[in-house]
Copies of this chain bind each other. A is one copy, B any other.
Amino acid sequence: MWPLSQKPGWAAATAIWSTRMSLARLDNKWTAMVVIALGRGDGLRFGDLRAVVQGISAKVLTETLRDLERDGIVARHEYAEMPPRVEYELTALGRTLHVPLQALGRWAEKHTAEVLEAREAYDAGRR
């Protein structure tokens, strides 16, 4: 048989998802983390999210949440109180996305040490 990469039409067929990943914003730096965070707690507030998704600025969190809301992943609930309270939760669509993303988060928890070791070994070899 053909080497997989030379099989006619393989590249074209396989290439579809790379466009899709971009369309669904899965190439965005913060999207995954925000969705994972939202999947863990119900009705998380803006401030909670900032605390959980470490390193994100208020501006970027706002933009990320807007994009996710626009894409039907996140629902926003604003309460007309003083001081204001806004809660975010995943939509039904968002919960389907949360499943693979949570698996990814678990991979990160589990294997970061190995990655870091490999990195050190690689750098040691270069020196």
Interface residues of A, Cβ cutoff 8 Å to B = 3-5, 10-11, 14-30, 32-33, 36-37, 40-45, 48, 51-55, 69-73, 93, 96-97, 99-101, 103-109, 111-112, 114-119, 121-123
Taken together as a complex, chains A and B put the C-alpha atoms of A51 and B43 apart, in Å, by: 42
Taken together as a complex, chains A and B put the C-alpha atoms of A20 and B106 apart, in Å, by: 10
Given contacts A4-B40, A14-B52, A119-B71, contact A20 B109 (CB under 8 A): yes
Residues of B close to A25: CB separation below 8 A:
115
Residues of B close to A14: CB separation below 8 A:
37, 40-41, 52
* A-B residue pairs, 4 tightest by C-beta: A72-B118, A100-B103, A4-B41, A20-B108
